[in-house]
Chain A
Amino acid sequence: MSIFARIRRIPFWSWLWFILGALYFLLPLYATVNFSLRMERDVIGFKAYVRAFEDPRFLETFLYSNMLAVLTIIASIILIVPTAYWIRLRLPEARRIVEFITLLPFVVPAIILVFGLIRIYSSPVTIPFTEIKLLQPLTTFEVGTDILIVAGYVVLGLPYMYRSVDTGMRTVDVRTLTEAAQSLGASWFTIIVRVILPNIRAALLSGALLTFAIVVGEVTLASFLGVPAFGPYLFLLGQHRAYEPAALSFASFLLTWIAMGLIQLFTGGQGQTTGAH
């Protein structure tokens, strides 16, 4: 056999990088799980998990975060799907502006966004450099704060959600589908509900799962806006307890894994990437 073929047989360096990578990624997970199982002295047990899940505030904040996630997903879909559809069908000129806007959240990370949101909506909204009042402060109402944070999450998820929906629409060629449906006599409502939405289901699901993963663990917006979400709860827990935070951290990793796994399932491997928080 030629020398070339022989070298190809054993990719030594590839194995090296991969093993180093695996070590780096798996050790912290192992350390977390290991630690979380040792709450009872000398016993490997799930006490930390039991304690963590039994804490009433866990359930409160976890449910609250889930609710926020659901609201964010719904709001995103209502906002983005018609917009993406409209642009594809009638207003291609708007595409560049809209895509630019969906890139802005990258330039305005969470900490900056929350800074701006708080400053604007915690005082009466005025036109800069003047005294003209437009709105009473949102942050004084609890519902107002909820609205703020959901809006903030929608903004943070904008790049991924929009791209997901847009790609989904491009893949199924909504323009042709619409024209076919119109030629068969369907009304606009029928078209959107019975033709478009079902066909972008995979994109919607993938965007929704990604949003879910982002929102449930989110800390920056939640803590600065003072909402009883899971992220701040976890952080606070870490100040006082040792084992329960480890248990919840591992649990949240598993949760993210399941969400991502579902995305892979629905999109056949075309998953999306997000970044740090």
Chain B
Amino acid sequence: MAQTALTQKKSITLDWKRWIGVFPFFLFAILFLILPSLRLFAGSFTGAEGEFTFANIIQLFEEQAILDAYWLSIQISAATAIGGGIFGFLLAYSVTVGGLPKPLRSALITFSGVASNFAGVPLAFAFIATLGRTGFVTALIKNLFNINLYQQTDFDLYSFWGLSLTYMYFQFPLMVLIMAPALDGLKREWREAAENLGASTTQYWLRVAFPVLLPSILGSMILLFGNAFGAYATAYALTGGRLGIITIQIGAQIRGDVLHNPGLGYAMAMGMVVIMAISLMGYSWLQKRSERWLR
């Protein structure tokens, strides 16, 4: 049984023996990851009588409420991906190439490691304490600028923009954690070579730095998109299900068949998986491109 690594080339007939070692892993994956996913997949093609049908998938594209839910999710995810991406990049820039003192960089990276995990219920509570009706910043704005946030403006923490603002709390750090190493990968010699050849700082960024960083930046933004798209707990804790993003809809469907059509519920879930899969592929492809240059 104990063949060493060196004798791998032999025994084509004993092939199955080599795969024994990964069998537990595959079994686990099948039981608790693949089967559930397949269940949803199969369920989305199941009609009310248990027959095979495409009707659910079609309804996905026809039911306005569902389309709205997807669109809302996409909007929030895109908004926080772009906003999180841009500001996260600026933050990462400031502590790497931007020249702030080293201790600030450590502080930011460590904090980002923690903050990218700080989601769900505690995060929602924290933002309610900050920008809720009796929140700290709400009161501050009232005292300093005499503006009552909830009465005089359109602002509402429990809305699209409020949720987006809350999502940023883990989107910014995620962007920082990915971009900081990428920015480090910008070799100092590239800037010096560019200067030596007569380029100004702007020209260097436009012609060399940004093009080299672009795959990384885009890839990270896609990652941020996927991250926000699949989020549930934060949204639920903050808005209690009022904001009809797709994860909340699915949650409602799990609890009680609000759509009165289990197949449709599964189809909704599969729709999410498809969108996430596309993001993942986009991210992978961009990762490979950026690794080639930033090695």
Q: Give A residues with C-beta under 8 Å from B.
A: 8, 11, 13-15, 17-18, 20-21, 24-25, 27-32, 34-35, 79-80, 82-83, 86-87, 89-91, 94, 98, 101, 103-120, 128-129, 151-152, 154-155, 158, 175, 178-179, 182, 188, 213-214, 217-220, 224, 231, 234-235, 238, 245-246, 248-250, 252-253, 256-257, 260-261, 263-264, 269, 271-277
Q: Is the CB of A276 within 8 A of B32?
A: no
Q: Is the CB of A79 within 8 A of B28?
A: yes
Which of B33, B99, B120, B177 meets A217, CB within 8 Å? B120
CB within 8 Å for A17 and B93 given contacts A129-B42, A235-B237, A275-B170: yes
Q: Is the CB of B126 within 8 A of A182?
A: no
Q: Is the CB of A27 within 8 A of B137?
A: yes
**In whole angstroms, what is the CA distance A16 to B247 when docked?**
36
**In whole angstroms, what is the CA distance A251 to B230 when docked?**
26
Q: Is the CB of A224 within 8 A of B254?
A: yes
Distance to closest chain A CB from B101 (angstroms): 10
Which of the candidate stretches B14-22, B63-71, B144-152, B209-217 sits at the interface with the other chain? B14-22
Give chain B residues whose Cβ lies under 8 Å from the Cβ of A269: 109
Distance to closest chain A CB from B137 (angstroms): 6
Asked if B226 is at the interface (CB within 8 A of a chain A CB), the reply is yes
Asked if B60 is at the interface (CB within 8 A of a chain A CB), the reply is no
Q: Is the CB of A17 within 8 A of B90?
A: yes
**In whole angstroms, what is the CA distance A218 to B121 when docked?**
9
Give chain A residues whose Cβ lies under 8 Å from the Cβ of B93: 14, 17
**In whole angstroms, what is the CA distance A213 to B135 when docked?**
27
Q: Is the CB of B117 within 8 A of A128?
A: no
Give chain B residues whose Cβ lies under 8 Å from the Cβ of A175: 5
Q: Is the CB of A117 within 8 A of B32?
A: yes
Given contacts A90-B18, A103-B280, 9 further A-B contacts (CB under 8 A): A11-B98, A91-B21, A175-B5, A231-B120, A231-B233, A245-B125, A275-B174, A276-B228, A277-B234
Task: State the majority secondary structure of interface residues on B.
Answer: helix
Q: Is the CB of B137 within 8 A of A31?
A: yes
Distance to closest chain A CB from B23 (angstroms): 9
7 closest A-B pairs by CB: A116-B36, A109-B230, A86-B21, A14-B98, A31-B136, A14-B94, A249-B122
Q: Is the CB of A246 within 8 A of B98?
A: no
Q: Is the CB of A249 within 8 A of B125?
A: yes
Task: State the majority secondary structure of interface residues on A.
Answer: helix
Contact code string B107-142 (vs A, CB < 8 Å = 1, else 0):
011110111111111111111011000011100000
Distance to closest chain B CB from A103 (angstroms): 7
Q: Is the CB of A34 within 8 A of B115?
A: no
Asked if B277 is at the interface (CB within 8 A of a chain A CB), the reply is yes
Give chain A residues whose Cβ lies under 8 Å from the Cβ of B170: 275-276
Give chain A residues whose Cβ lies under 8 Å from the Cβ of B121: 217, 219, 231, 234-235, 238, 249
Distance to closest chain A CB from B72 (angstroms): 15
Interface size class of B (residues with CB under 8 A): 35 or more
Contact code string B42-72 (vs A, CB < 8 Å = 1, else 0):
1100100010100000000000000000000
For A106, A115, A246, which residue has the most chain B Cβ atoms within 10 angstroms? A115
Q: Is the CB of B90 within 8 A of A112?
A: no
- Closest B-chain residue to A118, C-beta based? B254
- Closest B-chain residue to A20, C-beta based? B87
Distance to closest chain A CB from B148 (angstroms): 18
Q: Is the CB of B4 within 8 A of A182?
A: yes
Which of A110, A119, A260 meets B232, CB within 8 Å? A110
Q: Is the CB of B122 within 8 A of A112?
A: no
Q: Is the CB of B227 within 8 A of A154?
A: no
CB within 8 Å for A89 and B5 given contacts A235-B237, A249-B121, A276-B227: yes
Distance to closest chain B CB from A189 (angstroms): 11
Asked if B29 is at the interface (CB within 8 A of a chain A CB), the reply is yes
Give chain B residues whose Cβ lies under 8 Å from the Cβ of A234: 121-122
Give chain B residues whose Cβ lies under 8 Å from the Cβ of A79: 24-25, 28
Q: Is the CB of A18 within 8 A of B104?
A: yes
Asked if B91 is at the interface (CB within 8 A of a chain A CB), the reply is yes
Q: Is the CB of B230 within 8 A of A276?
A: yes
**In whole angstroms, what is the CA distance A114 to B83 when docked?**
30
